[in-house]
Structure 1
Amino acid sequence: MRVISTRLHGAVDYLWGAALLLAPHWLRLPPGTPEARAAQAAGAGAIAYAALTDYELGLVPALTMRQHLALDIAGGAALAASPWLLGFARRRRSPHLAFGLFAVAAGLLTRTRPVYGALRRLPAGPRRRALR
């Protein structure tokens, strides 16, 4: 059951990415530590592939929404596992786990087609004008 619109998902992508970029400051993580770098890498990646997704808030339509959601799920799982994979689970695991599980849930609950999807892919002509 996919209940999240692609437009809402796009807005959340940019906010989520910015929150991850700022998480080391907000959480007072020492700069350059694995926990700080994991959060910042996930945030930068999320913003980058959001900008490259073919949806309402994307800038360059290089990725389909299905590809974007697959990246959300895989990236979220990696972020959630990062405390154990990178060896900082005893110091700080909750933020990474929460952000990662949020990304997985968003990937599973978001619709796979933007509202304008059919219009963007149709050639110009009478059929496209009829759908407006």
Structure 2
Amino acid sequence: MKVINAKIHGIIDYLVVVFLLAAPSLFGLPPTTALFTYVLGGIHLALTLLTDTDLGLIKVIPFPIHGWIELIVGIALVGAAFYLGGLEGDLARNFYLGFGGAVLLVWALTDYQS
């Protein structure tokens, strides 16, 4: 059941950027995990600004392609959770397991054809 349209997804994307940029301080993430999170926030901002939706600024990435990118990133985040967890412990692992799961949930609920 696809209940999130492109406009709502765009709002969620901008909120995710704010969350990613605030998360290292909010959760006291270890150094490598914090750096990874800041970089991911910047990449996610670029993806959101470049996506062809109402809230995109430059509109060069079709929304369905945005969806495929988010699916790949969501899966990669689950893998990164175990890598970062091995480097920096349970907090890093649990943060990225939760975040990766949230990305995959939003992906599953979004109508990328809207």
Q: Deviations over 1:9-54 (max 9, x none)?
A: 0000011111011111111124xx2211222222111111010000
Structure possessing the higher radius of gyration over alpha carbons:
1
Higher helix share: 2
Residue deviations 1:89-118, cap 9 Å, x none? 63322221111111112122211234xxxx
The residue aligned with 1:21 is: 21
Tell whether the 8 Å contact from 1:79 to 1:96 is kept in structure 2 after alignment.
yes
Equivalence map 1:1-132=2 (5 Å): 1-30=1-30, 33-86=31-84, 87-88=86-87, 90-92=89-91, 93-114=93-114
Consecutive unaligned residues of structure 2, counting only runs of 5 or more, are: none
TM-score w.r.t. length of structure 2: 0.87
CA distance in 1, matches of 2:25, 2:94: 16
Q: Is the 8 A contact 1:54 1:64 kept in 2?
A: yes
Taking structure 1 as the reference length, the TM-score comes to: 0.76
Give the AA of the match of 2:7.
R
Matches of 2:29 and 2:18 in 1, distance apart?
16
Paired residue type of 1:50: T
Shift of 1:85: 2.4
Large movers: runs of 4+ above 4 Å:
none
Please give the root-mean-square deviation of Cα atoms over the aligned residues, in Å.
1.6
Instruction: Tell me: higher relative CO, structure 1 or 2? Use CA pairs within 8 A at least 6 residues apart.
Output: 2
Aligned length: 112
The alignment-based identity, stated in percent, is 31
